[in-house]
Amino acid sequence: MKKEIIYSMKSPYRDEFRIVGYRFGEGKKTVAIIGAMRGDEIQQQYVASQLVNRLQHLEENLLLAPDCELLVIPTINHYSLNIGKRFWSLDNTDINRMFPGYDKGETTQRIAAAVFEAIKDYEYGIQLASFYIPGDFIPHVRMLNTGYEDIDAARMFGLPYICMRKPTPYDTTLLNYNWQVWETKAFSIYAGRRNEIVKEDTRMLQRSILRFLGKIGAVQYKDSHAAYYSDVIDERELIALKAEAGGLFYAYKTASDEVKRGEKLGVITDGLDGSILKTIYSPMDGIVFFVHNSPLACQESTLFRIYGR
């Protein structure tokens, strides 16, 4: 294992900002793995750090392919992590909306440029991502329809679903999009939540990435857990159920739960007198793909996403 500084800059108030990467093996640039890009992606950073630990063990035991190089960057935004902010701590910009970056631009553009320069030539790219709404996800691989997506490779993770999304102009600054434009086979991995470590979800994410590395021949990994043959869905197939009123939100269902048409999913109650303002019902038979996990619900915020069967 080689520990190196991917990017650094001086700070007038705090310790020098450093993005640390860990390289394993040598030869063809095979897989780059990005952990937390935002300050509240605790689970994503934890999974990436555990992968560093596991890959170090595999390398020490000569279980890495002799002609593959792997790179893991556990976190890109630890300044914000240290103070509990989601976006860049100084100007509240999102690094994941700054790619491919600009090395003479604003701070987050420079960070994105340095990171992208380090990872753009890898054959595969894996991002441990989080959604813009706080909530729990059913485990899945997400890819953008750019013409460079590889569904067969995505199935190697063995997660229940592969969710495809048609990119909008707003998405052209995402890491996933730019990775694909530079002809890297890019995957965003979602499971569980972002701001805490959920043991079963983190184990599933670690196993899925190691399973993928084993399938492409980068490591020797014996997977003792059953893998899924992933169903491919279009994000437009997911039915979003939004809050018709603001208030305190209580969910009766969690991600992965099967539901029936008309089944009660959750309620929004008045924060002062406890009366029920709205009850959320399932519009179809299906599976809860996403559920909002904050106790506060703003009007028109997405509370559930249902995948109909």
Q: Which tens digits make up the pLDDT trace of 250-309?
A: 999 999 999 999 999 999 999 999 999 999 999 999 999 999 988 999 999 999 999 997
Give the structural domain span for 222: 2-229
Torsion (CA) 100, 104, 105, 108 in degrees, nearest 10? 60
- Chosen domain end from 174, 198, 229: 229
Looking at the fold, whether 220 and 280 belong to one and the same domain comes out as no
Looking at the fold, whether 82 and 222 belong to one and the same domain comes out as yes
Looking at the fold, whether 254 and 211 belong to one and the same domain comes out as no
Residue 65 above 80 pLDDT? yes
The enclosing domain of 25 has a CATH number of 3.40.630.10
Looking at the fold, whether 37 and 169 belong to one and the same domain comes out as yes
Residue 81 above 90 pLDDT? no
Looking at the fold, whether 203 and 299 belong to one and the same domain comes out as no
pTM of the shown model: 0.93
Looking at the fold, whether 44 and 90 belong to one and the same domain comes out as yes
What total number of domains does the chain contain?
Answer: 2
- pLDDT (average), residues 94-118: 95
The enclosing domain of 284 has a CATH number of 2.40.50.100
Q: How confident is the model at residue 210 (pLDDT cuts 50, 70, 90)?
A: very high
- For the stretch 10-38, what's the b/e string if a residue is b when 16 or more beta carbons lie within 10 angstroms of its beta carbon? eeeeeeeeebbbbbbbeeebbbbbbbbbb
Indicate the SS3 state at residue 208: helix
Looking at the fold, whether 156 and 242 belong to one and the same domain comes out as no
Residues 6+ apart with CB under 8 A from 115: 6, 7, 19, 34, 73, 76, 101
Residue 196 above 90 pLDDT? no
- For the stretch 217-250, what's the b/e string if a residue is b when 16 or more beta carbons lie within 10 angstroms of its beta carbon? ebbebeeeeebeebeebeeeebeebebeebbbbe
- Chosen domain end from 196, 229, 262: 229
Looking at the fold, whether 254 and 302 belong to one and the same domain comes out as yes
Q: How confident is the model at residue 16 (pLDDT cuts 50, 70, 90)?
A: confident
- pLDDT (average), residues 163-183: 94
Looking at the fold, whether 195 and 151 belong to one and the same domain comes out as yes
Residue 192 above 90 pLDDT? no
Q: How confident is the model at residue 224 (pLDDT cuts 50, 70, 90)?
A: confident
Looking at the fold, whether 67 and 162 belong to one and the same domain comes out as yes
Looking at the fold, whether 172 and 279 belong to one and the same domain comes out as no
Q: How confident is the model at residue 27 (pLDDT cuts 50, 70, 90)?
A: very high
- Chosen domain end from 199, 229, 259: 229
